[in-house]
């Protein structure tokens, strides 16, 4: 069960990172600083989630 949850969290982190990158890119393209900042924030959130999961994996093995 934990492995499935871990896989879901890893998947969510990748989705957050990708969505954030798209928002940041679109924000820069149209000159929208708020959208650019939101994109960076989403990417950071995904990065943190991914780091948390990597830390959990390290303790499992």
Read off the pLDDT of residues 2-54 as tens digits, 9 standing for 90 and up: 667 777 888 889 999 999 999 999 999 999 999 999 999 999 999 998 898 88
Query: Which sign, positive or negative, has the C-alpha torsion 35, 39, 45, 49?
Result: positive
Contact between 42 and 23 under an 8 Å Cβ cutoff? The reply is yes
Q: What is the DSSP letter of 31?
A: T
Residue 1's pLDDT band (boundaries 50, 70, 90)? low
22 burial (CB, 10 Å; 0-12 / 13-18 / 19+) is middle
Unique residue bearing structure tokens 């990597």: 54
| Mean pLDDT of the region 53-59 | 80
Contact between 54 and 14 under an 8 Å Cβ cutoff? The reply is no
């Amino acid at each position: 069960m934990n492995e499935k949850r871990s896989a879901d969290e890893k998947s969510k982190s990748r989705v957050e990172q990708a969505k954030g990158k798209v928002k940041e890119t679109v924000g820069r393209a149209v000159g929208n600083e708020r959208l650019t900042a939101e994109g960076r924030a989403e990417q950071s959130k995904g990065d943190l989630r991914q780091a948390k999961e990597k830390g959990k994996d390290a303790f499992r093995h």
